[in-house]
Structure 1
Amino acid sequence: MIFDRLIRKKVAAFETEIIQKYYREVENMYEKMRGWRHDYRHHIQAMKVHAARGEYQEIDRYLDMLDDDLTNVETVVRTGNRMADAIFNSKLSLAAERQIQVKAQASLPVALTVSELDLCILIGNLMDNAMDACMELPAEKRLIRIYMEMKGNYLYLALTNTAGGGKKHSFATTKGEGHGLGISRMDAIVRKYDGYIKRASEEEAFSTEILLPQ
């Protein structure tokens, strides 16, 4: 009984930490977007000044700078589900900072039977693990592929990432207690919904597939 309470307490603390972490990441992303919108009028005025002076090359350079700046805050995944969008895009912002290429295709209904907490833990841990593995490689070899959609009455999520070391990777983790707990929590969520999870490891890639009934 005491052991069960300790486990539940540990899991609850882990979930709270995960939610707070992802909340900070999402808030950081939206703070960048709000800042860009706030400065939008100033950018327009600056380009009007260049136009009035006939400084068209300066306008081109200014537009290039704005394009680069907007790329850093633009939402790049639009699944149709607000929570999935928030978590995916907060992680994609981190991936960009780490020079990890991400190719994503995702489409979801607005409402899911999977709770927002569980969806947050699944997507967040998958992306964190994938980014950790990619960082073992030089920048030009870092790649994450994401596919997420409804297949009949099932939510299907597949993620594949490149991995370093030139050897097959174990499903276990050596990155610390919290990291290992993240993997076990993903498995527990899949069991909770009577779903299915499959992991596969190749020499230079690692993939995870998840099916959850809806």
Structure 2
Amino acid sequence: MQAAIYLAFGYVLMESPWYILACVPFWNQRRVSKKVIGLMAFFMIAFRAATAFVLVLAVPNWLNYTMYGYLLNYALLIALFFRAFCVSPIRLFYVFLLLYSISSCINNLSVGCLRFLFPGMSVTMSTFPLLTVVVFGIFLLLLPILYRFLKGGLRRAVEGLDWKSILLLCVTPITFAVIALVFIGYGDAQEIKDTGLDILYLLVSLAGIASYFVNLKMLMGSAQRLQNEHELETRLALQAQNYENLTQGIEAARAARHDLRHHLNAVRDFAAQDDKTGLLRYLDEYAASLPQDEGPDWCENRAVNALLKHYLAQAAGAGVELDVKLDLPGGAGVPDTDLCVIFGNIFENAARSAAAAGKGARIRARCETGEADIVLTVENSAGTAIPHGEGLGLRSVEAAARKYGGTARFEERAGVYLSRVLLRKDPPPGDGPGTQEDLKRGTPLHEPTQ
């Protein structure tokens, strides 16, 4: 009974903090309330303690079956995370690998220290409760550093990198995780503990953690360079398009001035002959020959409006229903270059995806410009042939939003793709993402039916 109590108590203190920390990188992507996530964490902790308690009391030679307890625990944990957060398996797997390596390193360091201080003692959770206290104490010391990293660099990596990059990051650490599991299974089944084995296990854990940070830093640097290059290409494309529009406007104005002289001569002749009927007929013909307007103006911001005319005209030509109302004045408080990156990428993706959705496709967009912020919400039908994906365009939008202390979120539900962007006109110091509550003004215009 005593061993069962010690083990259950140990799992509560040694593992439950990691369940909570694992939520931090995905906090902006949660799909349930904070209260529900808290209840899930409580259930997970209670389940872990109960399985450990029952295992010790009901199973002879229970040390040989601890590996099955770990696997059952991880399976339930993954299921709960998929329910609580809108996150891909590879991202969840990557974060779990990192936290597993760090927790394993803390556990083994604690065991090694206690064996050195208490030689000859069996230092396990089921026989030595001081181990649980030491592990929890080390965790509390490292908590500020871990929380800052999980909320900062790791959250940006999880939200910004595509799944192929995340998969690449997992290759090296998964090797160390498998080795660590072998060490745990072997060590739990041994009556006599080997100090050399503990040191080797500690070194393996440290190597795994080091590989995480080195690979993550290198890949994030590469991703940042790609984003900068994409933003530069976008701005150059916008400048080229504006130059082409300006050139076409100048040529059209020159041709109009040349033709206007002939039209004025014709009008003068009709007036001189007092041929009112002929003059009116000529003016009607001239009015009918004038080029049609390129389309409605979608907003007052000239640079963004030029982009929207281009992409929304493509969507309208493909039969997409448009419901667009944008309050975006010139001099909105954010440079036009960054606004063009955000609006251009979002509406380009929306136009392509909606056009591929076929009959009944629609784009619905709203933009509100307040005194302190700009909120853009776009919903569009999602065609399976041309998905939005995780390309550089959306990552450029996220980077631009963070630049102005805002947030950008993208998700697909029931065939409708939702894009929500918040920009602050006066960004706070640093470039951290905004809070979840900042997006309340950018909630969907309507919830897609399930």
What TM-score results when the alignment is normalised by the length of structure 1?
0.71
Could you tell me how far apart the structure 2 residues matched to 1:67 and 1:143 are? 28
Q: Which has the larger radius of gyration?
A: 2
Question: Is residue 151 of structure 1 aligned with residue 370 of structure 2?
Answer: yes
Q: Secondary structure at the match of 1:114?
A: coil
| Candidates 44, 47, 60, aligned match of 2:284 | 60
| Candidates 167, 172, 191, aligned match of 2:389 | 172
Task: Give RMSD over aligned pairs.
Answer: 3.3
Check whether the contact 1:154–1:212 (CA below 8 A) recurs between aligned residues. yes
Check whether the contact 2:227–2:395 (CA below 8 A) recurs between aligned residues. no
**Kindly tell me: are residues 203 and 117 of structure 1, through their superposed partners in 2, closer, same or farther at Cα, counting changes over 3 Å?**
same
Stretches of structure 2 that go unaligned for 5 or more consecutive residues are 1-216, 426-450
Counterpart in the other structure of 2:334: 114
**Kindly tell me: are residues 165 and 10 of structure 1, through their superposed partners in 2, closer, same or farther at Cα, counting changes over 3 Å?**
closer
Stretches of structure 1 that go unaligned for 5 or more consecutive residues are 174-179
| Candidates 93, 96, 119, aligned match of 2:310 | 93
Q: Where has structure 1 moved over 6 Å in runs of 4 or more?
A: none
Indicate the structure whose relative CO is greater, using CA pairs within 8 Å and at least 6 residues apart.
Answer: 1
Check whether the contact 2:303–2:336 (CA below 8 A) recurs between aligned residues. no
For residues 63-105 of structure 1, the C-alpha deviation after alignment (integer angstroms, 9 at most, x for no partner) is: 123142xx13x772442x4xxx213313413542561565543
Segment of structure 1 superposing worse, 147-156 or 13-22: 147-156
Could you tell me how far apart the structure 2 residues matched to 1:22 and 1:203 are? 33
Tell me which amino acid in the other structure corresponds to 1:106. L
1:30-41 aligned at under 5 Å gives the runs: 30-41=246-257
Once the two structures are TM-superposed, the CA of residue 183 in structure 1 deviates from its matched residue by: 0.9
Aligned residues: 198
Once the two structures are TM-superposed, the CA of residue 152 in structure 1 deviates from its matched residue by: 4.4
Question: Is residue 181 of structure 1 aligned with residue 392 of structure 2?
Answer: yes
What TM-score results when the alignment is normalised by the length of structure 2?
0.38
Aligned-residue identity in percent: 19
Could you tell me how far apart the structure 1 residues matched to 2:263 and 2:381 are? 42
Question: Is residue 133 of structure 1 aligned with residue 350 of structure 2?
Answer: no
Return the structure number with greater helix share: 2
Could you tell me how far apart the structure 1 residues matched to 2:248 and 2:323 are? 22
Q: Secondary structure at the match of 1:135?
A: helix
Counterpart in the other structure of 2:118: none
